Amino acid sequence: MAQKKAHEVDNWLARPDPRAVIVLIYGPDRGLVAERGRAFAEKSGLPLDDPFTVVRLEGSEVEKESGRLLDEAHTVPMFSSRRLLWVRNAAGQKGLADDIKVLSKEPPRDAIVLIEAGDLKKGAALRTVVEGCDWGMALPCYADEARSIDQVIDEEMQKAGVSLTMEARQALRKNLGGDRLASRGEIQKLTLYAMGKSQIDLEDVKAMIGDVSGISFDDAIDAVLEGKIEAFDTVFTRHTQTGAQAFLMLAAAMRQFQSIQLMRGAMENGGTRNAASVVAAARPPVFFSRRKIVEGAVERWTGPALARALARLQDAVLQTRRRPDLASAIARQALLGIAVESARLRQRR
C-alpha cells in the first residue's frame, strides 16, 4: 500500500521516495496539508516561482476542464527535465479521481503530480487510487498532538532567537493544535509581541490571549458551549456577585452563537471544510485560547439547535427588559437550559 501513517509523514518528506510521482497530501488540518505540500514541492528541486515548470491548479478547475490534468502530465517540459503539477483544494471530485486513475496505470514520464486535499474518508475514490498505485504516495495530516505542537513551538522560538519558560509553554500548548498554519501564526504573534526579550514568560502568553477583564464573560459562555453545568453555575454566580449585568452576558452569548451559526453554515456549505478550518478563518478571529472549545461547538451544534438557542436567548433578553428585578434569574435559567442541551449534544457524538 502506497501510504504512510500520520507519525511517519515527516520522516518520509525529509527523504521522499523518487519513485513517487503522484503524491496525495490530505486531512482535516488544512494548514498542515499546505505546509507539507510546500515542503514536498521544495524537495522536488524545481523552481517554484517558474510558471513554465510549476503548474498550479485548483481541484475545481480539474473537475470543470475534463482532461486538463492529463494534458499537462503528458506535456513535454521545455526548460527543465520535468514539471510539477500542483493541485490544491481537492476534495471528492470524480473528474480528478478519474484522471489520477489513468495516470496510476502508466506513470507520467516528465511530471510530478502533487495533490493537496481536505479530509478524505477511507474508501474515497482519490485515496483508493493513490494508495493502490505503485508510484503513488498518500500522506495523511491530522490535528497536531502534543509532541508535534512542541516541535512547532521550538521551531518558531529558534527562528526568533528566544526561549520559553515552562509555565509559558504549558499555557501556549493548551491553545494550539487545531490548524498548523494557525498555530504558527499565533506563535509568531507571540514572538513579535515579546521582541527584544530573551525569554518569553507566562505573562507574555496571557497578554497575547487577551485582557481577562475584557473577556470576562468567556468563562461562563465556554462552560455553556461545553455543557459543563456545574462550572457554568459557579462562574455565573461569581459574575452576579461582582455586579455584572445579566443582560450583558446574554448579549455576549448571542454574539457567540450567531458567530457559531455563521461558521456552521460555512462548514456545511463548503463540503469538505471542517470545524478547525472555518474557526481558523473566522473574522474577527477567535482568541486562540478558545479555539478548541469553539471548534467543538461548531461540530456539535446543528442549524436547528442553534436556532433554538438563539430564540431562547432573544426571549430572555426581552424578559429581562420587562422584569429587570428578575434579570439575573432569567439569564441564569436561559443559559442553564442551553448548557443542558449542549451536554446532550456532546453525549450523542
pLDDT in tens, the chain (349 residues): 588 888 899 899 999 999 999 999 998 777 888 889 999 999 999 999 898 899 999 888 888 888 899 999 999 888 888 999 999 988 878 899 999 999 999 888 899 999 999 888 888 999 999 999 999 999 998 866 666 788 899 999 999 999 999 989 888 887 776 667 777 877 887 888 788 889 999 888 876 654 333 335 888 999 999 999 999 999 898 888 777 778 788 888 988 998 899 888 888 776 546 888 888 887 777 877 788 999 999 999 998 999 999 999 989 988 887 888 899 999 999 999 999 999 999 887 6
- d(C-alpha 15, C-alpha 293), whole Å: 37
Predicted structure pTM score: 0.55
Q: CA 40, 44, 48, 53 torsion: positive or negative? A: negative
pLDDT value of position 214: 38
pLDDT value of position 274: 81
Q: Taking a C-beta distance cutoff of 8 angstroms, is the pair 266, 278 a contact?
A: yes
pLDDT value of position 87: 94
pLDDT value of position 213: 33
pLDDT value of position 209: 52
State how far the alpha carbon of 137 is from the alpha carbons of 40, 114, 130, 190, in Å: 12, 10, 6, 36
pLDDT value of position 215: 39
pLDDT value of position 144: 63
Count other Cβ atoms within 10 Å, centred on residue 95: 18
Name every residue whose Cβ is closer than 8 Å to that of residue 347 and which is 6 or more positions away in sequence: none
**Minimal CA–CA distance to 224: which of 312, 322, 323?**
312
Distance between start and end Cα atoms, the chain: 31
